[in-house]
Structure 1
Amino acid sequence: MSSRPHHLRSTTAMNVTSGSDSRAPQRGVFSRPFCLFWLASAISSLGDGITRVALPVLAIVELHASDFEVSLIVAVSYAGVLVIGLPAGPLAQRFDLRRLQITLDSVRAAAVLTVPVGAAVGVLSIAQVLIVAFVVSLATTLFDVANSAFIPTVVAPQNLLASNNALSGIFATSAFAGPALGGVVVHFLGPANSMFADALSYVASFLLLAGIARNPSGAAEPEICSGGQIRLSLRYITGHSIIRASVLASSLVNFANGALMAVIPTFLVRTLGLPPGTLGLVLATQGLGALCAVLLLARVVRRAGDAPVLLWSVTATAFFAALLPMTVSSGALPVFLIALAGAAAGVTALSVITRTHRQLVTPPPLLAPVVATVRFITWATLPLGALAGGIAGQTATPHAGLIVAAGAAFLAAVALWRSPVRSIRRLTDAKETSTGPPATHETTH
């Protein structure tokens, strides 16, 4: 979801745009670098979707984990952002972004492979699963920052919305196909051996990213950022009312997502009594909702403007999240599925619109630290939400965890309704009186 600040433009960004006559064809959505980038993301996302089913089933069925232990696995899976979320920007810009992503894919593949190996030799435990989840979380946190900062070097600025929509489309498709495929793979191979698929997806991503030329846009490499730029990015984020509100809303939505990810597997398997193999089909409805949002989003934004679409998307997310606790038996499963799909559609719109906005308005020298800082703020709430949902589910009932998620989604909608988003048509139309980072030789008003 994910899910930024003052409208400063860098001279570098303006030069790329104004001088893009010779580069635009090579930096379009259908260029070879972006196609390789897109395919790497697609395969890796598909593997992640399989693991979304395999890991909780492994914990519930084979390791006999408690509700809280399942939520702890979810929390640890996102705890990396708490550890290196802020310094991820400075770390990412100290390396070639493409090579860094390749290295991190290798680390993630090796970590995930230890799960089926541990199961094969009979030593797999909750502790090992937690360690693997944490290592992958650390690598993913740094990978995603490098990945987001790498996109603007692959496509031209005017193609960012289309490229982000294309990426969200494949993520939505994978969110639908991955869990569905995961249910089948888990049924035939078992949850531990299913982790091989995720490891292979990281290897495929490694090979595809290796096929992209270094710095494909021909633009200058971003400067190495420092701790001072983290403070600068914080000022940049908090100095813009639209970004400030969208970051708050994204944080609350991610808190709700964390609670849902922790509660849904145990709720479906232990409360509703569904077979573990069907968990993937239920989770796949989220991908279906996200895919519908992607297919409609660009057209709706063109007609209505991104600000109203953002506002009503978050409102719809809150509405559908409120339906989830109403499911009290397997007979109400259709309501649960509709609510999951609707909430996922709203979150997808929120993610695409806010990500595109910050990529467009953030000066290139600050892009990586801003991406890292926003990711730290918004994703830090995921493990907190998972723990809150898990504790509520363990001490009361899984319905209590669903109520926690619904409450956080409602507060996210309130945050945007109380912001200037409600009175503008385009996010870039907001009139800001505060300033972002002070102008330097790198930026211009």
Structure 2
Amino acid sequence: MLLWAGQSVSEIGSMVSLVAIPIAAVTVLDASPLEMGVLYAVGRIPFLVVTLPAGAVIERVAKRPVMLWCSVGRALVTVSIPGAALLGSLSIAQLYAAAALNGLLMVFFEVAYHGYVPVLLERDQLLAGNSRIGASQAAAQAVGPSAGSGLTGLVGAAQAVAADAVSFAVSAVCLALIGMPEPKTAPAGPRMRAEIAEGMRFVLRHPVLRKTTACSATANLFVSIAVPLEMIFLLRVLDVSASRAGLLISLGGLGGVVGGAVAVLLGRWLGTARVIWLVPLVAGAAGFLVPAAQPGPAAVLAAVGWFGSMFAIVVYSVTQRSYRQSICPPELLTRMNASIRWLIWGALPLGGLVGGVLGNAIGIRQTLWISVAGLWAAFLWVFFSPLRGVRDVSALTEAGRPGR
């Protein structure tokens, strides 16, 4: 409960920054689409560079202290942004540096976090636990942007980021209060490179994990093309105010709240294997409404499109994450998660740079059309997988084949 509570508060704070930092970059620093793409990319480059070694390192140590000190570090890095603004020295270079450091700490936190959840929960509790986590993340995406735009209106965009620093401090306190002991950590293996390779082989040789990982990586690539441009799209193309921009993003985030709340029910009704491919292909098609939005009342189409996309992504994420946590041997869990995160997060900086370049070259709206088409098509990976041959993931063998 403490882990969930602390992370829920931290997620809300991060969503405040997700709105406030781009608003500051666009309205205060007059950032171009390319600069917005670079800002997004530098915060995600650590995912590509350090995720795999982080998995091997964290498997040897207790995970809770890693998460605690990462939260403390992210609080200090984040508070530097309003500090620089108060001194009148905020620059795009400052935002780049903060994004890179936050990204580095986030990698270690997330790898430890996804290895720590199965420590706290039994296998038959994973789907419900991940559903609660997914719903909390989506709730943060619904509440955080409105809070961020509201704080921006009250104290300014850069100063609003202080709320994120406070949320990281709350997360650190909650982690410090968890009293449940962790199992003994794995002894040092033969070589870090060999251990990393073992986790990667498990993912790439498993017929279902290979497909879900390819799906997630492709989806992340196309999502990250759009994310750096969303605030420019709202403020400059649709000509909405900063407060209305936050409201539209929040309304879109409600789709994830609903998805997290009904993921378990959908799994029982449709089957846990079917929801992984069926829900994204049906509900995810709503994403095509985003680039179709126009100035005026039709701007709400962007929120409707984000609602459908978030609903699909959260249902998919909760269900496939629970499946992979349940089938992986405990001694490989951290390295398996690190391998998957390296593959799917590694697409983020590339997508951000592509989005920035395309936004400058062909325009914001045209780039968003490319993004939503690629995101929807990403789920064809799981459509053409062993999942389509069964109703529930429990019908798959541990090797990912139908038959159990």
TM-score range for the pair, normalised by the shorter chain length: over 0.9
Q: TM-score, normalised by structure 2?
A: 0.95
Q: CA deviation at 1:317?
A: 5.3
Separation in 2 of the partners of 1:300 and 1:340? Answer: 20
Contact 1:155 1:163 in 2 (8 A): yes
Residue 102 of structure 1 pairs with residue 68 of structure 2:
yes
Aligned to 2:358: 392
- The superposition leaves residues 360-384 of structure 1 with CA deviations (integer Å, 9 ceiling, x where unpaired) of 1111111111111100101111221
Other structure's SS at 2:301 match: helix
Separation in 1 of the partners of 2:251 and 2:219? Answer: 18
Contact 1:178 1:284 in 2 (8 A): yes
Separation in 1 of the partners of 2:321 and 2:145? Answer: 25
1:18-417 superposed matches below 5 A: 35-213=1-179, 215=181, 219-224=183-188, 226-316=192-282, 318-417=284-383
Task: Flag the structure with more relative contact order, 1 or 2, with Cα contacts below 8 A and sequence separation at least 6.
Answer: 1
User: Structure 1 segments of 4 or more deviating over 6 A?
Assistant: 432-435
Separation in 1 of the partners of 2:256 and 2:288? Answer: 18
Q: CA deviation at 1:223?
A: 4.3
Separation in 2 of the partners of 1:194 and 1:179? Answer: 11
Paired amino acid for 1:369: R
Separation in 2 of the partners of 1:404 and 1:389? Answer: 10
Separation in 2 of the partners of 1:433 and 1:100? Answer: 32
Q: CA deviation at 1:54?
A: 0.4
Other structure's SS at 2:291 match: helix
Q: CA RMSD in A?
A: 1.7
Contact 2:240 2:295 in 1 (8 A): no
Contact 1:318 1:413 in 2 (8 A): no
**Identity over aligned residues, as a percent?**
27
Paired amino acid for 2:61: F
Q: CA deviation at 1:428?
A: 3.7
Q: CA deviation at 1:299?
A: 0.9
Q: CA deviation at 1:100?
A: 0.7
- Bigger helix fraction: 2
CA 1:157/1:251 → structure 2, altered by over 3 Å: closer, same or farther?
same
- The superposition leaves residues 240-289 of structure 1 with CA deviations (integer Å, 9 ceiling, x where unpaired) of 11111111111111112212211211011011111122221111123200
Other structure's SS at 1:133 match: helix
Separation in 2 of the partners of 1:129 and 1:285? Answer: 27
Separation in 1 of the partners of 2:262 and 2:380? Answer: 24
Contact 2:239 2:295 in 1 (8 A): no
Separation in 2 of the partners of 1:369 and 1:160? Answer: 18
How many corresponding residue pairs? 399
Contact 1:256 1:406 in 2 (8 A): yes
Separation in 2 of the partners of 1:282 and 1:326? Answer: 15
Which runs of no fewer than 5 residues in structure 2 stay unpaired? none
Paired amino acid for 1:228: A
Separation in 2 of the partners of 1:224 and 1:281? Answer: 49
Separation in 2 of the partners of 1:151 and 1:168? Answer: 13
Other structure's SS at 2:158 match: coil
Other structure's SS at 2:109 match: helix
Q: CA deviation at 1:184?
A: 0.6
Moved more, 270-279 or 367-376: 270-279
Q: TM-score, normalised by structure 1?
A: 0.86
Separation in 2 of the partners of 1:262 and 1:430? Answer: 39
Q: CA deviation at 1:404?
A: 2.1
Contact 1:242 1:430 in 2 (8 A): no
Contact 2:225 2:353 in 1 (8 A): yes
Separation in 2 of the partners of 1:151 and 1:286? Answer: 27
Other structure's SS at 2:31 match: coil
Separation in 2 of the partners of 1:402 and 1:56? Answer: 17
Contact 1:323 1:339 in 2 (8 A): yes
